[in-house]
Structure 1
Amino acid sequence: MLQLREEKKKKKVLPYFRRVSRGGAGRGPGWGGRCRSRPPAVIAPRRRGRAGPGMAEGAAGPGGAERYFTRWYKPDVKGRPCEDFCVLQHSNRICVITLAEAHPLLQSGKTIKNINYQISANCSRLQNKVSGKSKRGAQFLTELAPLCRISSSDGEEYTIYSCIRGRLIEVNENILSNPALLQEKPSTEGYIAVVLPKFEESKSITQGLLTQKEYEEVLLKRRSSAS
């Protein structure tokens, strides 16, 4: 009798363990039971002094963000030369908006003077309030929706755009107090915002964006024309 009870316990525990190891009990498909599969800024909200969503410091190389995110690029946004942006797309649809490496703000000699998430008199990205699994209250963004405006010490002002459609999950308030993060760690702690595309649009949001290889070809053409 005791042996029969032990066998029943094993039958009950084993399926539960498999559910946890595959996706976590009650989390639903795609959430993942391992740390590397956790959706950024959803399971682990951003805290001050912490690296960007789902990414560790120095995560640009092998074993870092590249393992969990696919890079997409939007060059020359609104016809402004070299104002390029990068969209780091996670497998769970979460997208992190960052500056691309060729953006003027990341070039030598540029010093960031001010970052402003107040995009109009009636709209501030800092007032974005998100609640619940359905992300109620989140501001909806189009591809050319401005996220913030950044001014440099040489008098230039740059508008940062979403580049994709979706709901604004969070903005990076850390760069307000420490603008240097944007230049020193643009793909991690210096990210701009986190956007969640609609489920039905998740497979089409990269239309109009370039792969990393295609973007490298754009950079080569720029260098050739400049020389």
Structure 2
Amino acid sequence: MEEEINTGNSSSPPYSDQQEKVKEEQEVVKEEEEELHKLLVPDIRDLPLTPPSVVDSNYVSFFAPDFIKPGHDQYVYRHANGLCVIGLAPTHVALKEEGGVTAIDFNVGKSDRSAIKVTGKRKKNAQHFEPNSALCKVCTNDNFYIVRCCVKGSLLEVNERLIKQPGLLNSSASREGYIAIIMPKPTDWPKIKSSLLSFEDYEKLKDLS
């Protein structure tokens, strides 16, 4: 009897070492592309319901609650370049009064803070202030409150827009209603930071969380 010829499909020959190496490299490239895609195009389920504000994106928030006096709560938003934006925290006593802030006066201490004009890269004419130095006086229908620097540094500008539009403190104190911008020395910042609260600690202290 003649030997039967096997016509079935024989198993494929094993990959050579070179083919295995190419396959592994392709898998690595695929994984890297998937990781890059995740970074560039995040899962919509992971995105916040509302986009972060400019403050949330570019600044680190710190707070000086009950600064000098109870209820005198202020914020310090620090930019990566070291600049600090100073303003009234949402829990400041002035913002809780009926009618809120009605006027603001930068003529405090021995000079009118709004008259300080800083120029050039060297910040010519910038005045140096201590944390407890007065920045301005905010007025309500029945009282007035002194707003202070909270940080040691050079006063670069005050928000003169508030003189004609004090209501910005009631509607947008953390943005358009900021009080001033101060530049501390980099060497002073660690000590300044230790005197302030983080956003999380501020929320806990004021029972906002």
Query: TM-score under structure 2 normalisation?
Result: 0.71
User: Does residue 204 of structure 1 match 2:191?
Assistant: yes
Equivalent-residue separation in structure 2 for 1:170 and 1:111 (angstroms): 24
In the other structure, the counterpart of 2:100 is 111
Larger CA Rg, structure 1 vs 2: 2
Checking the alignment, whether the CA contact within 8 Å between 2:86 and 2:182 is kept in structure 1 is: yes
Checking the alignment, whether the CA contact within 8 Å between 2:97 and 2:140 is kept in structure 1 is: no
In the other structure, the counterpart of 1:69 is 59
Equivalent-residue separation in structure 2 for 1:140 and 1:94 (angstroms): 14
Which residue, out of 95, 111, 121, partners 1:123?
111
User: Does residue 217 of structure 1 match 2:204?
Assistant: yes
Shift of 1:64: 2.4
Equivalent-residue separation in structure 1 for 2:180 and 2:53 (angstroms): 23
Structure 1 residues 174 and 63, CA, compared in 2 at 3 Å: closer, same or farther? closer
Structure 2: runs of 5+ lacking an equivalent: 1-49
How many residue pairs align between the two structures? Answer: 160
Which residue, out of 154, 159, 167, partners 1:180?
167
In the other structure, the counterpart of 1:162 is 149
Checking the alignment, whether the CA contact within 8 Å between 1:105 and 1:183 is kept in structure 2 is: no
Equivalent-residue separation in structure 1 for 2:148 and 2:51 (angstroms): 25
Secondary structure in 1 aligned to 2:203? helix
Query: TM-score under structure 1 normalisation?
Result: 0.66
Question: Identity over the aligned pairs, expressed in percent?
Answer: 31
Structure 1 residues 204 and 61, CA, compared in 2 at 3 Å: closer, same or farther? farther
Structure 1 residues 75 and 63, CA, compared in 2 at 3 Å: closer, same or farther? closer
Structure 1: runs of 5+ lacking an equivalent: 1-59
Task: Name the stretch that deviates more: 103-112 or 155-164.
Answer: 103-112
In the other structure, the counterpart of 1:31 is none
Aligned residues: CA RMSD: 2.0
Equivalent-residue separation in structure 2 for 1:93 and 1:181 (angstroms): 25
1:163-213 CA-to-partner distances (Å, cap 9, x unmatched) read: 000100100011110111111011111000000111322343212100011
